[in-house]
């Protein structure tokens, strides 16, 4: 089946995993929303995202399957002119909405990109449904919608609880996005994907996303850290998350449920083992002092709020944002997704040491290769074309 799929967030870290699978394993046509202003910028962005997965030669072979749609979630009608919006709505047979702002500190970014953006995506989905019927609308959410928790193991239907406070605007807006999808598209087959903390690829140590691993490495380089040694941390490998999103979204026979946790679940590693795995040769993991959690959180909140910007306030902000997610000892059962795709995530303890070391060596930066000129003759699906 050659389907036309409208996809957002494909130029991002997780989106690149799904896009790669779509390009290699299907013949679907992909309408790719990006804030790139021109086709050339869009191609650069796609290449930046896809070079983690493929050579430039393969990129040019597959490029014709991707149509760049310039737009912006935060703008009316997704930043498209009327004709483009109408065409995307009438051509899209399924919609995979991955894009979001992950800026946990900014109410404004989360409100505009996540809440307003998802509402605009739902409006487009509504038009597509009324025009020809949508096979599926999927929305990538996060396990952060579970709000403030302490030492829990949550299944999909237990995680969203309106009586709980949220850690940040990111979690709050993503929670309401789930609600909008359920309320406004009752007649469309919908899927909600909730990844937990996605870190690294189990097949190789390379990544293009460094925020979380830098936070973990910083934390576990300290002499002491306020966490229970046996606290579980739900870290999941990106290759499994991408595969699960791709297979469940694409194959209706696998999409038996409305919501999927894409997480390490009950197999999540505990803090002392993660610290050991990330410590690397010659480093000592921190002494774990759970009793200091409250005081540490208060201290880092204060430091993060200081007006000056320097290494200390940077670390303060990092901790303020990520501390709850590292210390809340809450994991998300992944049986639905594991069953659907017939495999479980790989334990972080297996691939984490090489991954953490590579990220340190790279100083948390990916060495992006520029996109070479399109070759004069490209091998498209086995045929040579100019």
Residue 33 host element (H or E): strand 29-34
Q: What residues numbered 89-118 form the site for ligand NAP, per CB under 6 A?
A: 98-102, 113, 117
Q: Under a CB-based contact definition with an 8 Å cutoff, are residues 114 and 144 in contact?
A: no
What are the contacts of 266-269 at 24+ separation with CB within 8 A? 266/153, 266/331, 266/333, 267/344, 267/345, 267/347, 268/232, 268/233, 268/234, 268/235, 268/331, 269/232, 269/233, 269/235, 269/347, 269/348, 269/349
Q: Indicate the residue among 139 and 288 with the shorter CB distance to ligand NAP.
A: 139
Count residues binding ligand NAP (CB under 6 A). 28
CA 323, CA 200: separation in Å to the nearest integer? Answer: 19
Q: Which of 92, 129, 191, 197: binder of ligand NAP (CB under 6 A)?
A: 197
Q: Which of 198, 231, 318, 326: binder of ligand NAP (CB under 6 A)?
A: 198
- Given the rule CB under 6 A, which of 13-21, 247-255, 280-288, 338-346 is the region that contacts ligand NAP? 13-21
Q: Indicate the residue among 12 and 226 with the shorter CB distance to ligand NAP.
A: 12
Regarding 45 and contact with ligand NAP (CB under 6 A), the answer is yes
Residues 6 or more apart in contact with residue 203 via CB below 8 angstroms: 239
CA distances from 126 to 24, 132, 156, 240 (A): 29, 10, 25, 30
Residue 257 C-beta: closest distance to ligand NAP, Å: 18
Q: Which of 18, 20, 34, 128: binder of ligand NAP (CB under 6 A)?
A: 34
Q: Which of 7, 9, 192, 227: binder of ligand NAP (CB under 6 A)?
A: 9
Q: What residues numbered 46-75 form the site for ligand NAP, per CB under 6 A?
A: 72-74
Kindly list the residues in this chain that would bind ligand NAP in the complex (CB under 6 A).
8-9, 11-15, 33-36, 45, 72-74, 98-102, 113, 117, 140, 142, 195, 197-198, 209
């Amino acid at each position: 089946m050659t389907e036309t799929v409208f996809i957002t967030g494909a130029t991002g870290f997780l989106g690149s995993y799904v896009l790669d699978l779509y390009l290699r394993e299907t013949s679907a046509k992909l309408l790719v929303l990006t804030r790139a202003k021109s086709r050339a910028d869009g191609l650069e962005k796609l290449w930046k995202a896809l070079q983690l997965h493929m050579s430039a030669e393969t990129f040019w072979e597959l490029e014709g399957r991707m149509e760049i749609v310039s737009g912006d979630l935060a703008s009316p009608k997704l930043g498209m002119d009327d004709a483009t919006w109408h065409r995307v709505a009438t051509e899209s047979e399924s919609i995979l909405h991955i894009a979001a702002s992950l800026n946990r500190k900014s109410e404004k970014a989360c409100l505009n990109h996540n809440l307003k953006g998802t509402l605009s995506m739902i409006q487009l989905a509504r038009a597509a449904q009324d025009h020809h019927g949508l096979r599926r609308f999927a929305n990538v959410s996060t396990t952060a919608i579970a709000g403030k928790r302490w030492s829990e193991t949550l299944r999909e239907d237990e995680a969203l609880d309106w009586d709980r406070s949220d850690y940040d605007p990111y979690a709050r807006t993503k929670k309401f996005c789930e609600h909008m999808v359920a309320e406004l598209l009752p007649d469309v087959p919908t899927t909600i994907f909730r990844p937990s903390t996605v870190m690294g690829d189990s097949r190789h140590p390379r990544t293009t996303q460094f925020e979380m691993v830098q936070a973990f490495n910083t934390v576990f380089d300290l002499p002491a850290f306020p966490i229970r040694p046996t606290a579980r941390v739900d870290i999941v490998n990106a290759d499994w998350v991408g595969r699960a999103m791709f297979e469940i979204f694409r194959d209706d026979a696998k999409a038996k449920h409305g919501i999927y946790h894409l997480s390490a679940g009950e197999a999540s590693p505990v803090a002392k083992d993660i610290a050991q795995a990330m410590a690397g040769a010659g480093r000592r993991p921190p002494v774990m002092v759970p009793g200091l959690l409250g005081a540490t959180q208060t201290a880092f909140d204060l430091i993060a709020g200081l007006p000056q910007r320097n290494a200390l306030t940077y670390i303060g902000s990092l901790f303020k944002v990520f501390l709850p997610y590292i210390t809340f000892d809450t994991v998300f059962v992944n049986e639905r997704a594991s069953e659907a795709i017939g495999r479980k995530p790989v334990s972080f303890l297996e691939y984490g040491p090489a991954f953490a070391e590579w990220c340190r060596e790279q100083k948390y930066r990916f060495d992006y290769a520029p996109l070479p000129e399109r070759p004069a003759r490209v091998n498209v699906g086995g045929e040579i074309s100019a």
